[in-house]
Structure 1
Amino acid sequence: MQLSLNPWITTPDESTEEEALEVHVPPAAVISTPLKGMVEPDTADRLANRTMTGTAALWVVGSHGGAGESRTADLLDGARPTGHCWPVLRDGSKPRVLLVCRADMRGLTTAQSALTQWASGAAPAVDLLGLAILADAPGKTPKALRDFTTIVGGGAPRLWTLPWVDAWRHGDSTTTPTAREYQRFITDVAALATETNPSTTH
């Protein structure tokens, strides 16, 4: 699992890995809110908005079909998928959002567009926790995709890269993956989703 700062606008600080591991909740990168002057993506590349009914501690937004939106939501208590749309809440409060995609070129490109949409202010007001990138196949990710993952993830407040889960291929979506990356991801997101935020209701 990789958690990175934002290479779009800054360079990682010089803190040691040991110091980073002591942080219970991953700190947000420099880009934690939309940026003035960021160019909006083309309309065709933007995620739509959807007014959501009911409540959730966290809304999981897939940047494309097959992103793993529903499976990720199943892993996280109080999370609900949005159907590949930015959530808009009826009460006007600011929803907490986790963006997810697959680690192939299509998935990463759509995630980059979604993050650009958010960073430019073209998305509705959301509290974006970060981006989770789910492996699209077993085995080692090709270097070109790993490099692009770093670039795309740099546009999110936080980045989690998650390994392939073979059980999901066979339809087992109820068992929590045992991989350390998933355990840490679930812990991180649970802590972030329950942080006090007056603009977000649970």
Structure 2
Amino acid sequence: MQQSLNPWVTSPTTDISEEETLNTYMPPAAVISAPLKGMVEPDAADRLARRTMSGSAALWIIGAHGGAGESRVADLLGARATDHCWPVLQGGGEPRVLLVCRADMRGLTAARNALTQWVSGATPKTDLLGLAILADAPGKTPKALRDFAAIVGGGAPRLWTLPWVEAWRLGNDTPLPREFQRFITDIATLAADTSNTAHWKVSP
């Protein structure tokens, strides 16, 4: 897993050991942490719909497209999936959300459109934690897709890239890769910084 900030507005200033990266390092949000004036929203066909949600949740997971891994990530985090929609809470308020997609061209393009929709201010008011990109196949992601993922992730407050888990294809329970463990801990840390009432799964 790689968590990074907006590549266009931030850069690391110190070298951080692998152990620190996995256990203690939590960088602040990137500059793009809220919608920006003057951004043009995507075409209607490229926008995610909005949906009024019953009940409540500490975190809502938005899949940018079908097969994004929305339900899987929601289960891992003890969150609720929105079925590829921006959530609108019945009782009002600003829901905390996480956008997820797959690391193929279709998934990254859908995530780019969703982030463009958000940054243009065309979505319901939300607290977007960032974008999680899940591998779409075993093995190393092609360079062209890695480069595109970095560009797309630059439009989100934070970016996590997560590896393929082969055992999930067979429905097997397996210890989570450390990238996913760190991802879960990162989200829990972010939630703890902004809410005293949220409950999160911090370990598998």
Q: TM-score, normalised by structure 1?
A: 0.90
Judged with a 3 Å threshold, the aligned counterparts in structure 2 of structure 1 residues 14 and 106 are, in CA distance, closer, same or farther, namely same
Partners of 1:101 and 1:115 in 2: CA distance: 11
Aligned to 1:28: 29
Partners of 1:161 and 1:201 in 2: CA distance: 24
Report the number of matched residues: 197
1:88 partner SS: strand
1:3 partner SS: strand
1:160 partner SS: strand
Aligned to 1:64: 65
Partners of 1:140 and 1:201 in 2: CA distance: 35
8 Å contact 2:191–2:198 — kept in the other structure?
no
User: Structure 2 matches for 1:119-158, cutoff 5 A?
Assistant: 119-158=119-158
Partners of 1:76 and 1:85 in 2: CA distance: 18
1:195 partner SS: helix
Partners of 2:32 and 2:174 in 1: CA distance: 30
Aligned to 1:100: 100
Judged with a 3 Å threshold, the aligned counterparts in structure 2 of structure 1 residues 119 and 137 are, in CA distance, closer, same or farther, namely same
Q: TM-score, normalised by structure 2?
A: 0.89
Q: What per-residue deviation string (whole Å, max 9, x for no partner) do you get for residues 159-180 of structure 1?
A: 11000011211134xx465211
Aligned to 2:187: 189
Judged with a 3 Å threshold, the aligned counterparts in structure 2 of structure 1 residues 176 and 170 are, in CA distance, closer, same or farther, namely closer
8 Å contact 1:57–1:194 — kept in the other structure?
no
User: Structure 2 matches for 1:31-42, cutoff 5 A?
Assistant: 31-42=32-43
Partners of 2:115 and 2:14 in 1: CA distance: 26
**C-alpha displacement at 1:55, in angstroms?**
0.9
Among the aligned pairs, what percent are the same residue?
Answer: 72
1:44 partner SS: helix
**C-alpha displacement at 1:38, in angstroms?**
1.0
**C-alpha displacement at 1:92, in angstroms?**
1.1
Aligned to 2:170: 170
Judged with a 3 Å threshold, the aligned counterparts in structure 2 of structure 1 residues 72 and 42 are, in CA distance, closer, same or farther, namely same
RMSD between superposed Cα atoms in Å: 2.2
